[in-house]
Structure 1
């Protein structure tokens, strides 16, 4: 079953849940010191989505598990300060958040070093204490998650999440999936392919990094990818290709949207996450896919000119929504 992506404004503002993991981020500075903050692919997307919907009544919630330590308390306060709801955050008292270090080269390309094996988010959907979180998914209009969201879970927790997503989608929830394939998080490629294939059969909007899908599925070209996704039943695909144009496949056709020129790249951390957040923010506010891709490129271009995953609010680009007499459903 293919379900088209709904568009806001509608009868009421949408409720969006993002599922994943927030970690402690340590960012290398030129003086050999490190700056400590927080980040994670779906958390980055949640923050940028919240910022881009500020002033509207859209609900942006984060679903995860954290510990009871001071870092967990601080990251949860950051979400609240950014307008990201935490009503469905599970606290596992004997666990801690994951940790990662960012190192960047002279071209701004980043290298990550992770400590996440015992992170609380791995167990977010394990045991009876997860029942309320899983049931809550059907109360949202949109659920956003990534390949990393799936990879970090225990096998049992992942199966429970997939079952809950199936039930939520049958009840009308639409699913947004960012592929974010990280081979080292999976036991083997075949397991990852099976999980991704199952996930794509539930997906309404896919936000795909080309290099990641080449690594996972081995697609020879864009046409092979789009044919495969049509077979999965994905109604809308935004294919992110780095500095090359984004390619969109939807009911209205196929479009290319050029990327923004960036004078100097400082740090590519969260480039894809910010693109995805801006794309979704535009679509949920009534924008067509081409405009959504332009929003994505503009925000990503600004993000890569700053260090770290989350840029200062003052550095956010001004993204405008034209007045449409009618917006074509894609």
Structure 2
């Protein structure tokens, strides 16, 4: 009998090596190691806010896979459905250190163990034990098998009366072309309840520019709630019975923008799972997104509940 989970997610966690000194990546000589991956970021963030969360993936039977499993367990994430492949390696990435702007990131994930996650790996009882499923568009980009797994998981959870969130996490370099990316993500969006795109992503996906129009486009496709990230300005949200703009939180210094969207997803999802009003969920998303950009690693800014409450009490700008 599986333990009851508040949420479950799946995808490709990677071992990340990030440069310890600023400058071009090819000149960096010293690196630190950490866990990376959009879905593992969300899982860790939910776990730090005391939600029971499970993560489904495949890892290689190598030192990186062992490192990732230990890192997930350290975060309190349930890993009972993590499996290992003796034929495919664990994916890794390297990231530069910058003082301004986005860091350069290079991925080494082709033919990774996680990319072989397919329908045969779907454990119905494990997913049924969770109340919510979080999905990112990255999983559908890395392989046909993962795309089939994504669709199957979303359909299963919807049929089971569970909620499903989707963050498009557009990664054009992982897709054969923009048309395929747009069609696939928009198809996934029709299978979710809560859609969490960035404004730039939304414009690529719909060809529309105004947040209100973009939200209406997806609500008409059957999505229950659309929350559009507007960067430092905040977020816009719309559902069948609520609509509004939520300003962002003051950021002292932007250190690293990677992981901000995942932090935002943690805030929105955790608050909605706690049955808070949509406006409060979006405000919490803005808060964790702000904390994320003020921290160097993908996960460093993900707060505990006490840290989050202290930060939110400081107020929004």
Q: Which residue of 2 aligns with 1:45?
A: 42
Q: Which residue of 1 aligns with 2:91?
A: 98
Runs ≥4 residues deviating over 4 A: 312-317
Contiguous gaps of at least 5 residues in structure 2:
23-27, 311-317
Partners of 1:216 and 1:200 lie apart in 2 by 10
Partners of 1:250 and 1:320 lie apart in 2 by 26
What is the aligned counterpart of 1:205 among 194, 213, 236?
194
- 1:138 counterpart = 2:128: yes
Taking a change above 3 Å as real, the CA distance of residues 161 and 275 of structure 1, as seen in their structure-2 partners, is closer
Q: Which residue of 1 aligns with 2:8?
A: 17
Higher relative contact order (CA 8 A, sep 6+): 1
Taking a change above 3 Å as real, the CA distance of residues 312 and 210 of structure 1, as seen in their structure-2 partners, is closer
Partners of 2:221 and 2:188 lie apart in 1 by 9
- Quote the RMSD (CA, aligned, Å): 2.3
SS in 1 for 2:307: coil
- TM-score normalised to the size of structure 1? 0.85
Partners of 2:186 and 2:258 lie apart in 1 by 26
Within 5 A, what are the aligned runs for 1:247-326? 247-311=236-300, 318-320=307-309
Deviations 1:215-264 (A, max 9, x none): 33322221221121012111011111111120011233211111111111
Taking a change above 3 Å as real, the CA distance of residues 312 and 213 of structure 1, as seen in their structure-2 partners, is closer
Contiguous gaps of at least 5 residues in structure 1:
1-11, 322-330
Q: Which residue of 1 aligns with 2:74?
A: 81
What is the aligned counterpart of 2:224 among 225, 235, 249?
235
Taking a change above 3 Å as real, the CA distance of residues 230 and 312 of structure 1, as seen in their structure-2 partners, is closer
- TM-score normalised to the size of structure 2? 0.88
Q: Which residue of 1 aligns with 2:25?
A: none
Aligned residues: 302
- Residue 51 of structure 1 and its aligned partner are, at CA, apart by 0.2
SS in 1 for 2:196: strand
Partners of 1:125 and 1:88 lie apart in 2 by 13
Q: Which residue of 2 aligns with 1:147?
A: 137
- Residue 160 of structure 1 and its aligned partner are, at CA, apart by 4.2
